Amino acid sequence: MPNMSRNAGIITFKDVSYEHQEGKPILIETSFSLRRGAKLTLMGKNGAGKSTLFGLITGKYEETEGAINIMPKTSIAVSRQVIPRDELELSVRDFFQNLFSEKVYNIDPKIDEILQVVNLGPEKGTEAYEAFKDRTIGSFSGGQQARLLLASALILKPEVLLLDEPTNNLDTEGISHLTKFLKEYNKTVIVISHDADFLNSFTQGVLYLNAQTKKIEKYDGNYNDVVKEIERQVTKEVRKNAQLAKEIQTNKDKANFFAHKGGRLRAVAKKMREKVEDYEDNKVDVRREDKTIRDFIIPVQNKLPLDILKLSSFTIFVDHTPKEKKANLVLQRGDHVHMTGPNGIGKTTLLESLASRSADGEKIADRVKIGYYRQDFSNLDFKKTPREILFSVMEEHDEQKMRSLAAGFLIDAEIINAKIGSLSEGQKALVAFARLTLMKPGLLILDEPTNHVNFRHIPVIAKALADYEGAMILVSHVPDFVEKVAVGNTFELGT
């Protein structure tokens, strides 16, 4: 790695190109530099390669061409997406201890601080809290594991902190704790997130990954400022092309007119054609931002009975101990209920058992089709393509109908035949919603459906869910979304 002066950026990309597979570049000769202490948002359309850029910074991937220079002795930490299987049997204390290259004596104060940042665990100082640190990682819910992953990056307090959708699975209080931590953090932070309010609260600039030019563009200002600036650029580019198109047509008409006159006017026609070529060369390739998905509806299955679901009892988890609770939940056709409760109490576990019709104390009417949106997308076969996934729930294999619906969810010709596992989390979310639309379910079960979803799409999804005429159970930590979905009732798991 080349020596760098103290005034150089903490991270510098110089003419860097990278491609996962031949002919499909993520970056092409892109250059930029980051100063120490910068707090930046990483923007770009779904699938542009934002997480790949993090991989290049951490050394997970190696640039195809160019050079990535990082200041010597710069520590870098990234919030991982999944806890490896071999770490699931570790205690919370050992999980954090293993993150450090050398043994940290009296690591508990560090753990205590970082658990508070991600708003996880019982009240500090209690017996339950001490027992919490002895629990195995695999005993925690998916939401709690997501917080532990975030904490595993924050506890290292690296020179460069890379956060990929850190507010997923965090409630309002959790986001508030994280925001306070990041505001006070005096080192370099780069964040991928679709939560505009969260980003605007602490970031001062934007790295924009342009999916067309395959270059990084740097902007000053907050998330909303840059969104508006890019929209202005798009409008300007469209206007310029429209004016050039007008000039092109005018000169083509003149060239054709003079060419037919013959004689010296043919030379004039030739000049007109040269002007057309110049105008064609000056046209710009207007950047294609993430469009908003089209309005959609989720149809309800035919002959849906009035009574959909009855739940007389369920299991919650208090300090890792199962506890049976009585319930009197009745869902009828058209009822929408918001299921609430703290992380780790068993919301996802209950949703999974309801979706598989295996919950104790549950009765779902016969032949009711269940549409289940899992926050980790594990009910989508990652080895299959969106085309295969969508066809699998269609009554008739109508290629044109399937492709038309997929296009409404921005699942284009390139994506539709890619493996689900190769898609970004945001693209997987759109495939999941397209699948629900084709399923025509009678009962919708939705576990954090706004995670990973571009903010542009959320109002469209909220309207589709609000208009859904079947029964619905929703788990979401986003109050504004819950309100837009027009959920009429709350089912509190409680303790």
355 CB neighbour count, 10 Å cutoff: 20
Residues 174 and 64 in one domain: yes
pLDDT at position 226: 79
In a domain? residue 295: no
Give the largest Cα separation in the chain, rounded. 101
Contact criterion met (CB below 8 Å) for 110 and 155? yes
Residues 127 and 255 in one domain: no
Q: Categorize the per-residue pLDDT at 347 as very low, low, confident or very high, splitting at 50, 70 and 90.
A: confident
pLDDT at position 287: 55
For residue 128, the domain's CATH number is 3.40.50.300
Contact criterion met (CB below 8 Å) for 154 and 189? no
Residues 483 and 356 in one domain: yes
* Total tally of structural domains belonging to the chain: 3
- Pairing mode, if any, of strands 307-318 and 362-364? antiparallel
Residues 211-255 pLDDT 10s: 888 899 898 888 778 778 777 877 777 787 777 778 778 877 777
In a domain? residue 294: no
Residues 370-397 pLDDT 10s: 999 998 888 999 999 999 999 999 988 8
pLDDT at position 388: 95
In a domain? residue 2: no
What is the residue-averaged pLDDT of the chain? 85
| Contact partners, residue 339, CB within 8 Å, separation at least 6 | 347, 350, 351, 473, 474, 475, 490, 491, 493
User: Which range, of 127-136, 311-320, 461-470, averages the lowest pLDDT?
Assistant: 311-320
Residues 97 and 239 in one domain: no
Residues 141-200 pLDDT 10s: 777 888 898 899 999 989 999 998 888 777 777 788 888 889 999 999 999 887 788 888
For residue 4, give the amino acid letter.
Answer: M
Residue 324: beta bridge partners?
A: 315
In a domain? residue 269: yes
CA distance 122 to 214: 46
Nearest residue to 175 via CA among 163, 186, 187:
163
| Contact partners, residue 396, CB within 8 Å, separation at least 6 | none
Higher pLDDT, residue 62 or 85:
62
Residues 145 and 251 in one domain: no
Write down which residue in 225, 240, 260 finishes a domain: 225
pLDDT at 2 over 60: no
Residues 157 and 237 in one domain: no
Residues 266 and 334 in one domain: no
Residues 88 and 211 in one domain: yes
Cα separation of the two ends of the chain: 55
Residues 277 and 367 in one domain: no
pLDDT at position 247: 76
In a domain? residue 12: no
In a domain? residue 479: yes
What range does the domain containing 268 cover? 228-282
In a domain? residue 291: no
Residues 388 and 474 in one domain: yes
- The fraction of the chain above a pLDDT of 70, given in percent, is 94
274 CB neighbour count, 10 Å cutoff: 12
User: Which range, of 15-24, 223-232, 266-275, averages the lowest pLDDT?
Assistant: 266-275
Torsion from C-alpha of 437, 440, 442, 446, nearest 10 degrees: -20
Q: Categorize the per-residue pLDDT at 446 as very low, low, confident or very high, splitting at 50, 70 and 90.
A: very high
pLDDT at position 120: 84
290: left (phi over 0), alpha (psi -120 to 50) or beta: beta
Residues 444 and 433 in one domain: yes
Residues 266 and 385 in one domain: no
